[in-house]
């Protein structure tokens, strides 16, 4: 049985007024096209993405400019976000020509410590704040010099707190930093930034067009439903005849 025949059979089993209202509701819902549903799905996805931020591991930049500040990025996400945890972050540095890493910085969620005198007053924490469950251990290196070129190691020590036991894990990230006298940008970086802005503007225009289209579609369906309902209420005889008490009186013989 097709959907049209099923709808017709259902309408026949209902009282005339209820069948009329059911047809009006069905007509209104059918006026919402697939484009409107797609538009609503996109809006829901945007609301979810804004309301529930997720952790994403992004690599750090590797080229700094002498005399400027530079962000050493380091993100290590938990495999299971619902598990409570605490973590500490330590940074190590190995200059060019050296063979061993030197401990330069430590952060435990509350207290930050610059360990190496070489970086005294030149490191600022810019990672996770107001929590001991660290996932972002990024730092700012202030007033970069050519001697800051080398390999930086970010080391996470994380304790996962389960109901009956604790489990300790570690993670390491490496940043190979090069200090240059002047900022340079490759062609790929410029093209990527242009394409990003074009995509954002295009998406916003598409959302605007779909919003106008859906508004007109819903408004037209709503007006037609109102006209149909007005025609129903203008004919009260339909309601009276359908009432179970309104039965023809048989003459007495």
- What pLDDT, in 10s, does the model give residues 188-205? 667 788 888 888 998 888
* Residue 225 CA to its chain's centroid (Å): 37
Q: Given pLDDT bands bounded at 50, 70 and 90, which one contains residue 240?
A: very low
pLDDT at res. 78: 86
What's the pLDDT score for residue 14? 47
- What global pTM score does this model have? 0.57
Position 34 scores a pLDDT of 54
Over residues 135-160, the pLDDT tens digits come to 999 999 999 999 999 999 999 999 99
User: Model confidence over 26-39: pLDDT tens digits?
Assistant: 555 555 555 555 55
**In the structure, what pLDDT confidence band is assigned to residue 48 with cuts at 50, 70 and 90?**
very low
- Cα 224 from chain centroid (whole Å): 37
C-alpha atoms less than 13 angstroms from C-alpha of 90 in its C-beta half-sphere: 13
CA distances from 233 to 7, 15, 22, 28 (A): 23, 15, 15, 18
Element (DSSP H or E) covering residue 150 = strand 150-161
Mean pLDDT on 12-31 = 55
pLDDT of residue 16: 58
- Compute the distance between CA of residue 146 and CA of residue 134 in angstroms, rounded to an integer: 30
CA 172 to chain centre: 27
| Rounded CA separation 215/17 (Å) | 29
Residue 175 and residue 151 in contact, taking contact as beta carbons nearer than 8 Å: yes
Residue 69 pLDDT greater than 90, yes or no:
yes
pLDDT at site 33: 53
Q: Which residues contact 15 (CB under 8 A, 6 or more apart)?
A: 242
Instruction: Considering the domain delimited by 63-180, tell me its CATH architecture.
Output: Sandwich (2.60)
């Amino acid at each position: 049985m097709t959907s049209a025949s099923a709808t017709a059979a259902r309408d026949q089993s209902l009282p005339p007024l209820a069948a009329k209202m059911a047809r009006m509701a069905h007509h209104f819902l059918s006026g919402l096209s697939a484009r409107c549903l797609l538009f609503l799905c996109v809006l829901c996805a945007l609301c979810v993405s804004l309301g529930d931020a997720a952790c994403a591991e992004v690599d750090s930049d590797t080229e700094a400019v002498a005399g400027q500040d530079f962000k050493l990025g380091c993100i290590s996400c938990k495999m299971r976000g619902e598990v409570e945890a605490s973590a500490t972050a330590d940074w190590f540095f190995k200059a060019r020509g050296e063979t061993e890493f030197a401990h330069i910085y430590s952060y435990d969620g509350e207290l930050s410590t610059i360990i190496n005198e070489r970086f005294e007053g030149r490191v600022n924490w810019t990672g996770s704040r107001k929590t001991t469950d660290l996932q972002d251990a990024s730092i700012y290196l202030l007033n970069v010099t050519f001697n800051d070129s080398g390999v930086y190691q970010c080391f996470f020590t994380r304790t996962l707190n389960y109901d009956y036991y604790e489990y300790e894990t570690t993670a390491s990230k490496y940043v190979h930093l090069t200090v240059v006298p002047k900022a340079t940008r490759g062609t790929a970086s410029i093209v990527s930034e242009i394409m990003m802005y074009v995509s954002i503007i295009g998406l916003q225009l598409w959302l605007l067009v779909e919003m106008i289209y859906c508004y007109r579609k819903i408004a037209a369906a709503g007006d037609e439903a109102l006209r149909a309902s007005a025609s129903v209420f203008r004919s009260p005889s339909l309601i009276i005849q359908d009432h179970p008490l309104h039965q023809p009186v048989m003459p007495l013989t």
